[in-house]
Amino acid sequence: MSTSILDAYKVKQEKADLYDGKKLKVGIIGTGWISEAHLHSYEKCPDVELVAAADLIEGKAKAFCEKYGHPEIRCYRSHKEMLDAEELDAVSVCTYNATHAECSIYALEKGVNVLLEKPMCVTLEEAIAICRAEKKSGKVLSIGFQPRFDENMKMVKNIVQSGELGEVYYIQTGGGRRHGIPTPFGTSFIEKETAGLGALGDIGCYSLDMVLNAVGYPKPLTVTGYTSDFFGHRPDYLEKPEYAEKFGVDDFAAAFVRLEGGIILDFRIAWAMHMDTPGDSLIFGKEAGLRIPSTDCWNGSIGGPLKVYHNVAGICVDTTIPEARNKGDNFDKKIRSFIDAIEYGLPSPVPSGQIIYNQAILDGIARSARLGREVAIEIPEI
Ligand SMILES: NC(=O)c1ccc[n+]([C@@H]2O[C@H](COP(=O)([O-])OP(=O)(O)OC[C@H]3O[C@@H](n4cnc5c(N)ncnc54)[C@H](O)[C@@H]3O)[C@@H](O)[C@H]2O)c1
């Protein structure tokens, strides 16, 4: 058994008296693609009762609940309607990016704990407002980065945190797809009004989280960003040709970011490109370097064994780290850790205090790309 599981078990034992044994009443806001995964993971929690669901589209929440065998769940036409009518302990915010902020803030103001899907939101301004609402509420806010629970992703962090690399000074990260603009159930990922950000927000946030979490989430200081949309308007790159007219976000982004502590972050992400991969993720330290082979890290996977490059008695040595085996499902762990945090008064599993820096970088890239110059990142006291 790993130390972290033992630690979590011990904390739960010590704090057992904080949990009153009542089932938590949970609601789902937004019943599109990802809400199914939330529903199934909540179903596996015996201490959770799914009582409400909401979607802006008439009949969508009801059809969703019936499809998955929950006709008893009460359905509403918006997050407001649901939160005004119900006494909930927690919600999953599974809406498209553009409504993440309003749904989360409204829930927190009602004293409801929030599991918010990634990316945190669209702009830094929204992220600041979410963090302020969280602080005022004293409730748990966790952001939905399930790769955090993957054993290999944890290994990336453990290697950096062990000090093996020495002081980190340069990071390269990113990833992407050669031909993969997502329109799984319509155009909510590619329209400006619903997605806000394209590849940058959708998968860029994962690549950033993988490396920033490993190095301890240093504060971003400045960003020079670039975005483009050379593929999203081409009918041959979309599931349905008519989607091309609706495309309003980036399908590629790149950036050069200065982080506190003198660390340079070199980043690129693509939904479409004439290339197999924009590269491996690399973390350079003064004592050793770490290679994370090019990976769809949003699936919590690594593209092959991690490799550490170092010197032994003056000889260049490469150490291959055996891949860790995962037990259980990362999505289930994301939901379980959120529920545990509520019941046992534990810290948020994926805290906003870290992810606000992730959002600040996304926002900085989009802003810098618009202005065509480097921008400074300023985050006020929350
Ligand atoms: N963690 C993951 O692996 C993962 C995977 C896919 C998507 N996501 C994230 O989940 C979010 C949703 O993605 P999706 O693919 O399910 O989108 P989707 O477009 O399929 O579903 C979103 C739903 O939210 C509803 N909605 C929007 N605002 C609402 C409001 N105020 N009240 C009630 N309903 C509202 C929409 O009507 C829509 O039905 C996105 O932010 C996406 O980035 C995460």
pLDDT in tens, 130-168: 999 999 999 999 999 999 999 999 999 999 999 999 999
Q: Is any atom of ligand 1 closer than 6 Å to the C-beta of 30?
A: yes
Radius of gyration of the chain, Cα coordinates, nearest whole angstrom: 21
Q: Has residue 14 got a pLDDT over 90?
A: no
pLDDT band at 294; cut points 50, 70, 90:
confident
pTM listed for this prediction? 0.96
Q: What are phi and psi of 172, to 5 degrees?
A: -115, 130
Pick the residue whose CA is nearest to atom 7 on ligand 1. Answer: 34
What is the atom index within ligand 1 of the atom nearest the CA of 185? 20
Residue range 343-348: mean pLDDT, rounded: 96
> Cis link prior to 119 (omega < 30° from 0)?
yes
Residue range 47-60: mean pLDDT, rounded: 98
What confidence score (pLDDT) does residue 132 get?
98
Q: Has residue 3 got a pLDDT over 70?
A: no
- Residues 6 or more apart whose CB falls under 8 angstroms from that of 100 comprise 93, 116, 117, 119, 120, 121, 122, 126, 130
Domain boundaries, the chain: 3-146+331-350, 148-326+360-376
Q: Which two tokens mark 57?
A: 């589209």
Ligand 1 centroid to Cα of residue 109, in Å, is 21
* pLDDT tens per residue, range 96-107: 999 999 999 999
What confidence score (pLDDT) does residue 300 get?
75
Q: What are phi and psi of 254, to 5 degrees?
A: -140, 155
What confidence score (pLDDT) does residue 37 get?
98
In angstroms, the Cα distances linking 355 to 11, 219, 294 are 24, 11, 23
Given the candidates 1.10.3720.10, 3.90.1150.10, 3.40.50.12280, 3.40.50.720, the CATH classification of the domain at 3-146+331-350 is 3.40.50.720
What is the atom index within ligand 1 of the atom nearest the CA of 298? 3
What confidence score (pLDDT) does residue 15 get?
63
Q: Is any atom of ligand 1 closer than 6 Å to the C-beta of 103?
A: yes
Given the candidates 3.40.120.10, 3.30.360.10, 2.30.30.60, 3.30.300.30, the CATH classification of the domain at 148-326+360-376 is 3.30.360.10
Residue range 162-182: mean pLDDT, rounded: 96
DSSP state of 324: P
Residue range 307-326: mean pLDDT, rounded: 96
Please name which of 92, 98, 152, 151 lies closest in space to residue 122, comparing C-alpha atoms. 98
